[in-house]
Structure 1
Amino acid sequence: MVKRVLLIEDEPNIIEAVRYILTREGWAVDTHANGATALDAVARRRPDVIVLDAMLPNRSGFDILRDLRADAGLAAIPVLMLTARGQRADREMAERLGADRFMTKPFANAEVLACLRDLAGLGAG
């Protein structure tokens, strides 16, 4: 079964890198770049996993994560926070708000893939 990921990211280079890594492994990848409408995109697409940037136009990834976890219909979707903001306070905030994993940019392709496989329940594959 094909797993679907929603990448909520506004940096074109990161979008292309993550899309390449995942599509090569058989994932279906949807992308969304606007923080203000990200929650609607999640509700519409119902991904198996979300990759969420902390710094987005119009709304932060932390705010989006807070709203995801407060929505009974979306709260169970695993979230990987993938961000350039690697300070301890950012990591702690992501964990407090319910992120399943936290990874900083730059990232190792294999690490992202392994993390998403784990979050989607695919094992080491």
Structure 2
Amino acid sequence: MAGKDLAKPSQATQGPHKKRHKPGVMALREIKKIQKHTDLLMRRAPFQRLVREITYNLTGDAGMRWQLKGVEALQEAAEACLISLMEDAQHCAIHGKRITIMPKDIMLARRLAASISKQPAMKIGA
């Protein structure tokens, strides 16, 4: 019988329960916090390597050089485009009565953006 007493601590020794938030509240707080900052979210070096790799694949010229301001401008534009896409995908998820963005939300957001601009959606992958 003494083993039972060790298995469950009493309410007084546990302390107060940690406050729980509704699902999605902490994610929305984090989004608002990140949106207040204007600094770039992607790290510079991996983005720069990606730009150089794509440049090499398109031109075949390994000696092609990028100015720092050019890479920064490209990164700024890429992040703005991705953020806009994710915002639209979030609206699609909310419309579907969900909190989590799913691939179908991103595809719908891309199709809607393409139909608004009257340009076909850019294919990613195969």
TM-score by length of 2: 0.24
Q: Which structure dedicates a bigger proportion of its chain to helix?
A: 2
Q: Between Structure 1 and Structure 2, whose CA radius of gyration is higher?
A: 2
Structure with more relative contact order (C-alpha pairs < 8 Å, separation 6 or more)? 1
TM-score by length of 1: 0.25
Q: Which structure dedicates a bigger proportion of its chain to strand?
A: 1
